[in-house]
Structure 1
Amino acid sequence: MVPLSLSSSPLTTFPLNYNNNNKKAFLFINGDQRNTSLAYYNPLSLRLSSVGMAMMMKKKKKKGFGTVCHAAPITARNLQFISSVSSLVLMFSKGTAIQKSFIVPLFALQAPVAVISWIKGEYGMWTAFLALLIRLFFFIPGELELPFLALILVIVAPYQVMNLQGTQQGAIVSLLIAGYLAFQHFSRAGSLQKSIEQGSIIATLAIVCITAVSLLLLF
């Protein structure tokens, strides 16, 4: 009697030679059915796939921790804020010999709408009223007088004047005032080197910002 085995014979592999694509071939032979199949093994493809998987995992780990850099757009509102801050700095600066009273109408023409609305609102009225009371009974330094005058000018200015904000006419007037202030500053300083000395560099930067903003708002 011949014993009957129900288990299938294991697959037997016979290595073949390498082909042109550097793929190693194996011949699989089934013990019972004598079927043959040919498969190719490429170690290079496995290595590339493992490298690709590692790079994908690395990108997933870094996702969410990267820094997104973007430049803020230069809008008319941002330019107006720069001009207002430069005007206030120039009011308090001592390193220049310009006629600072010209800064007051320049501030009124180039102040942002939010600042004008705040000054003409209830808080601005109370601020001007308290500043006027202090001015009547106490001494106010000269550096604080120009901001107070700018506050009063914006409050009492008629709407025809305030409507010049954001228009071509208002930009031309602002550029003329800024150009005149720049001419006064650099001509009275004597030279460019003296205008950027430590005592007057802040005023010089403020005047340059005012002039540049006025020129940009013109276009």
Structure 2
Amino acid sequence: MLQRKGGFSSTVCSYAPLSSLNLQWINTISSAILMLASGTSIQKPFLVPIFALQAPASIISWIKGEYGVWTAFLALLISLFFHIPGELELPFNALLLVLVAPYQILNLRGKLEGIILSLTIAGYLAFQHFSRAGSLRKAFDQGSIIATICMICVLTVPCLLLIGC
């Protein structure tokens, strides 16, 4: 505590680059990269709920707004007439999941329950990634270094958010 002339004033230690909004952006970008990455053997559909639970409010409001509805409509229209590659199917599913998710599910975002759920899914995915790679050293091989860094980010962000709660 700092003492001033008028009394006591408490200070809060905070490191601005690790704010909860920045952590949400790191998790969102990392999960999007993992959806498109080929250097991992995780079950990628589990990334969709992590994206929905940890994305910043600006992305969620964009998806639930008019632009998101039009984007989902055009993506659905394109998928009816053309083949969508598997790499683009998961981001489309994430868009649809957030778009049609009920309020009660999206209300978990930023709360302790949502962070614990995200941490549980991220822990399972990290276990898959590192156990299937064989060792920690093999997980950082040239073909999977980006996937490994993103997996570490997806795992550590809910831990940091949990500490901040």
TM over 0.5: yes
1:58-97 equivalences under 5 Å are: 72-97=16-41
Q: Quote the offset at 1:78 in angstroms.
A: 0.5
Q: Please state which structure has a larger fraction of its residues in helix.
A: 2
For the pair shown, the structure with the greater C-alpha radius of gyration is 1
Aligned residues: 149
Structure with more relative contact order (C-alpha pairs < 8 Å, separation 6 or more)? 2
Does the residue aligned with 1:83 lie in a helix, a strand or coil? helix
Partner amino acid, structure 2, of 1:115: I
Deviations 1:149-188 (A, max 9, x none): 0000000000000000010000000000000000000000
- Runs (5+) with no aligned partner, structure 1: 1-70
Does the residue aligned with 2:84 lie in a helix, a strand or coil? coil
CA distance in structure 1 between the partners assigned to 2:72 and 2:152 by the alignment: 30
Q: Please state which structure has a larger fraction of its residues in strand.
A: 1
Q: Quote the offset at 1:72 in angstroms.
A: 3.9
CA distance in structure 2 between the partners assigned to 1:195 and 1:155 by the alignment: 34
Deviations 1:7-59 (A, max 9, x none): xxxxxxxxxxxxxxxxxxxxxxxxxxxxxxxxxxxxxxxxxxxxxxxxxxxxx
- What is the aligned partner in structure 2 of residue 151 from structure 1? 95
Among residues 45, 56, 69, which one is paired with 1:125 in the alignment?
A: 69
Partner amino acid, structure 1, of 2:162: L
CA distance in structure 2 between the partners assigned to 1:148 and 1:209 by the alignment: 22
Q: Quote the offset at 1:218 in angstroms.
A: 1.0
What TM-score do you get using the length of structure 1 for normalisation?
0.67
CA distance in structure 1 between the partners assigned to 2:159 and 2:26 by the alignment: 13
Q: Quote the offset at 1:122 in angstroms.
A: 0.3
Q: Quote the offset at 1:192 in angstroms.
A: 1.1
1:167 aligns with 2:111: yes
What TM-score do you get using the length of structure 2 for normalisation?
0.89
Partner amino acid, structure 2, of 1:140: I
Q: Quote the offset at 1:73 in angstroms.
A: 3.6
Q: Quote the offset at 1:97 in angstroms.
A: 0.5
CA distance in structure 1 between the partners assigned to 2:158 and 2:18 by the alignment: 14
Taking only the aligned residue pairs, the percentage that are identical comes to 66
Partner amino acid, structure 1, of 2:142: Q
CA distance in structure 1 between the partners assigned to 2:18 and 2:157 by the alignment: 11
- What is the aligned partner in structure 1 of residue 81 from structure 2? 137
Does the residue aligned with 2:142 lie in a helix, a strand or coil? coil
